[in-house]
Amino acid sequence: MEVPEIVNQMHEEGLESLLIFQPENITYLSGYWPTSSSILLLKDDPVLLVPKLDRKEAEEISTITVEELKSLDKLKKELPANLGVEPSLNIATYQKLGDDFKIRVTDLLERSRIIKSDHEISNIQKATDIAEKSLLELEIRGAEEEVAAQLEYIMRINGSSKPAFDTIMASGYRSSFPHASTSSENIESPLVIDWGAVHNHYASDTSRTLIQTEREEEIFDIVLEAQTKAIKTIKPGVKASYIDKVARDIITEYGYGESFLHSTGHGVGLEVHEMPSLSSREDKKLEAGMVITVEPGIYLEGEFGVRVEDMVLVEKRSRVLNNMDSRLSF
């Protein structure tokens, strides 16, 4: 969404101004990723306030007028009485704003960010491409943490500014932890890799599970069936919770419902986890332009785990942004 349109929506919500601290929201509006505490004051003539040390660099990048941020106390004197703030604003800053304002918390920007522009989709596609290309160049041998280090390095060389999140490289029984921390143990089977790149501040998020035994293959097939059918169900107008239900029902039919420990997916963009959530509690309906992950998993305590995760763009139906096979071998 363009800045003037967001300003209009802000007025429609009865707000004169929005005080924005979250780096992702500042980047969304201005193109500038703040490296120090900065504030974007959204109003009819928006202004990006950055500390003196960042001013020159911000002026080179920001599409919104840059001014020097002196202090919140000084800024307060220039603020309109009717002010919106982000849900992520910390309570210490909120309290510093004091009682002079009529402050309302609004997720206006987070809601705007759900529908991606062509430009945003192209950044997300690029991040996904970098992540995939890098995995295919990776030699999977040695300790989990060494292989994770290699993968992150290859992504960086291929144009990712950083890993989108702590890479998961979890093998053997550690794959049964959905968020396993990467260990110094040598890689065994199966191996869950959950990794992402960042391109122009936009993230990707993909998972693959490399398997060896028949038992692992049996579980893998169930997860893949759940994922495939969930993806096929995606189209505008369908409730996000229904996609979760489709994946969960299949896994439950096979008797593993209790081992599917998380929701089926989430939005991806400037943040790795953003709206909507593909969970049983999400009331939102899918709309064209959303980018979501679809990532069912089965985690067998003390044994192993399997997860398959792709990035999906909602169009007339679903378009999977990943090109890589779901089934990879060691």
Smallest distance from its own copies to CB 177, Å: 4
Q: Verify binding: residue 146, its own copies, rule CB under 8 A.
A: yes
Neighbours of 81 (CB within 10 A): 10
Q: Verify binding: residue 74, its own copies, rule CB under 8 A.
A: no
Contact between 275 and 292 (Cβ < 8 Å)? no
Smallest distance from its own copies to CB 153, Å: 4
Contact between 263 and 280 (Cβ < 8 Å)? yes
Q: Verify binding: residue 70, its own copies, rule CB under 8 A.
A: no
Question: Which of these segments, 157-165, 185-193, 231-239, 321-329, binds its own copies (CB under 8 A)?
Answer: 157-165
Give the neighbor-by-neighbor strand order of the sheet with 206-210.
168-171, 191-195, 206-210
Q: Which one of 112, 122, 177, 200 is in contact with its own copies (CB under 8 A)?
A: 177
The contact mask relative to its own copies for 178-197 (x = CB under 8 A, - = no) is: xxxxx---------------
Cα end-to-end distance, the chain, whole Å:
43
Is 255 buried (19+), middle (13-18) or exposed (0-12) by CB count in 10 A?
Answer: exposed
Question: Which of these segments, 88-96, 122-130, 249-257, 321-329, binds its own copies (CB under 8 A)?
Answer: 88-96
H or E stretch covering 171 = strand 168-171
Residue with tokens 């206006």: 108
Q: Closest Cα to residue 103, out of 84, 90, 79, 88?
A: 84
**C-alpha triplet 88, 29, 158: angle, nearest 5°:** 95
The contact mask relative to its own copies for 14-53 (x = CB under 8 A, - = no) is: -------------------x-xx--------------xxx
Q: Which one of 5, 105, 186, 232 is in contact with its own copies (CB under 8 A)?
A: 105
82-85 vs 66-68, strand pairing mode: unpaired
Smallest distance from its own copies to CB 163, Å: 7
Q: Which residues bind its own copies (CB under 8 A)?
A: 33, 35-36, 51-54, 56-57, 85-92, 94-95, 105, 107, 145-146, 148-150, 152-153, 156-157, 161-163, 166, 176-182, 261-262, 299, 301
